[in-house]
């Protein structure tokens, strides 16, 4: 039977031990010149006109809760013997002791700008096959500015931007923006975050003064550079990609219905919409899947999505966010090689939503990712009924 390792990070408020006991006492003191993610804390509800939540509200937004971890483990268990390998400081020792045949990786990491690459790098060091993208792609994709530079080099459309490393007064910052040819309105966001961390309504800047305030807040709160880019005013889409090489395909596209947001809310899918307004007990009707687009736009979106996927070296699966400019042309907003995979449809997790629209169950989605990784690396997966079913679902998607 195939021995499947399962690497993940579990939200600290969902475990029985304290964060200090689980991860060590230096959580808030990254070493050397590492730049931390946002700081820990508990979020509170806000309305559409409220200021952004404190940076402390969203530190562990990227990590997974026990329900997701259990659902992934259950799906993997149909393909082999699952060994949990939580990405805590003793991960290398446990990996060496357990010796899995392959690892399903969804660990986001904790510290530094390369945190998403830590587990894959350790797996490569020990020669252990694993699912998903390699350390370089994970580090590159987490840096929004370098991702945009890379995409531009490969001819993939994305919004013009400038990277701000320290505060300027309103006039100086506006001059830097003008020198790069950017036009208001602009949107500012932390350069090294995911899961909509640091993405709130107050990041929308219609004037130099608003830009200065937004940049100052983000620099102080997230302790990392701030990406400032032209705001793309058109429709937004989330595109799930499965596969490798020429066989990679875009699943049914998820379109954003910003009309479902609270009255007066800006047309962005940020922290408020994702974690505060959209609740299982009162879900936002913000998504349509498949998105209602004509054949020409669908082709254009799929073209830039797959272009970004291949340019960044993504493997097995990734989520690509796309937004239209004023002329209706699709631009890549972000690439996430570790996509969110919440199992409950009420949670509106976009990758599972796209998979369901393609006729794949949640279990088949998880199993397909592992099967793609195993095929890519020559790892034999036990020929269970679930494996055969997942392969058939992947071929039909």
Give the tens place of pLDDT for each residue, 247-287.
Answer: 999 999 999 999 888 888 889 888 788 777 877 777 788 89
Which of these three, 207, 230, 253, is where a domain ends?
230
- Shared domain check, 385 and 241: yes
Confidence grade of residue 28 (pLDDT, cut at 50, 70, 90): very low
pLDDT tens per residue, range 102-145: 999 999 998 889 999 999 999 999 999 999 999 999 999 999 99
Tell me whether residue 56 is in a domain.
Answer: yes
Entry pTM: 0.86
pLDDT value for 14: 44
CATH of the domain at 285: 3.30.470.20
Q: Which two tokens stand for residue 43?
A: 């979020």
**Boundaries of domain holding 323:** 236-396
- Shared domain check, 164 and 18: no
Tell me whether residue 150 is in a domain.
Answer: no
Tell me whether residue 17 is in a domain.
Answer: yes
Tell me whether residue 99 is in a domain.
Answer: yes
Tell me whether residue 120 is in a domain.
Answer: yes
Residue 89: is its pLDDT beyond 70?
yes
Tell me whether residue 248 is in a domain.
Answer: yes
- Shared domain check, 387 and 259: yes
CATH of the domain at 177: 3.30.1490.20
In terms of residues, how long is the chain? 397
Region 84-113: mean pLDDT is 95
pLDDT value for 205: 94
- Shared domain check, 213 and 180: yes
- Shared domain check, 226 and 240: no
Provide DSSP, 317-372.
Answer: EEEEEEEE-TTS-EEEEEEESS----S-GGG--HHHHHHHHTT--HHHHHHHHHHH
- Shared domain check, 191 and 117: no
Tell me whether residue 102 is in a domain.
Answer: yes
Per the structure, how many domains does the chain have?
3
pLDDT value for 383: 87
């Amino acid at each position: 039977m195939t021995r499947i390792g399962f690497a993940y990070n579990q939200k600290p408020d969902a475990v029985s031990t304290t964060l200090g006991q689980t991860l060590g006492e230096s959580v808030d003191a990254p070493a050397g010149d590492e730049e931390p993610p946002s700081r820990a804390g508990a979020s509170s509800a806000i309305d559409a006109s409220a200021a952004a939540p404190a940076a402390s509200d969203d530190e562990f937004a990227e990590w997974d809760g026990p329900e997701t971890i259990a659902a992934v483990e259950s799906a993997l268990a149909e393909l082999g013997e699952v060994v949990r390998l939580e990405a805590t400081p003793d991960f290398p020792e446990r990996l060496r002791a357990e010796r899995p045949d392959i690892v399903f990786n969804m660990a986001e990491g904790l510290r530094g700008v390369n945190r998403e690459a830590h587990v894959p790098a350790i797996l490569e060091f020990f020669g252990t096959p694993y699912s998903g993208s390699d350390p370089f792609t994970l580090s590159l994709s987490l840096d929004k500015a370098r991702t945009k530079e890379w995409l531009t080099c490969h001819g993939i459309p994305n919004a013009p931007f400038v990277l701000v490393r320290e505060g300027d007064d309103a006039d100086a910052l506006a001059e830097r923006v003008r020198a790069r040819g950017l036009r208001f309105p602009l949107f500012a966001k932390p350069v090294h975050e995911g899961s909509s961390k640091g993405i709130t309504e107050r990041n929308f800047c219609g004037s130099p003064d608003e830009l200065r305030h937004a940049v100052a807040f983000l620099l102080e709160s997230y302790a990392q550079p701030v990406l400032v880019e032209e705001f793309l005013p058109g429709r937004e889409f989330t595109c799930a990609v499965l596969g490798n090489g020429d066989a990679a395909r875009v699943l049914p596209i998820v379109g954003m219905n910003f009309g479902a947001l609270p009255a007066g809310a800006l047309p962005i899918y940020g922290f408020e919409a994702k974690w505060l307004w959209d609740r299982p007990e009162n879900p936002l009707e913000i998504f349509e899947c498949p998105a209602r687009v004509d054949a020409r736009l669908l082709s254009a979106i799929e073209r830039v999505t797959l272009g970004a996927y291949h340019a960044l070296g993504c493997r097995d699966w990734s989520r690509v966010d796309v937004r239209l400019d004023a002329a209706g042309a699709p631009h890549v907003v972000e690439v996430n090689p570790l996509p969110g995979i919440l199992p409950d449809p009420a949670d509106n997790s976009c990758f599972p939503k796209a998979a369901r629209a393609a006729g794949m169950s949640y279990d088949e989605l998880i199993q397909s990712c592992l099967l793609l990784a195993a095929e890519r690396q020559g790892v034999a997966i036990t020929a269970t009924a679930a494996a055969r079913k997942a392969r058939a679902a992947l071929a039909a998607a």
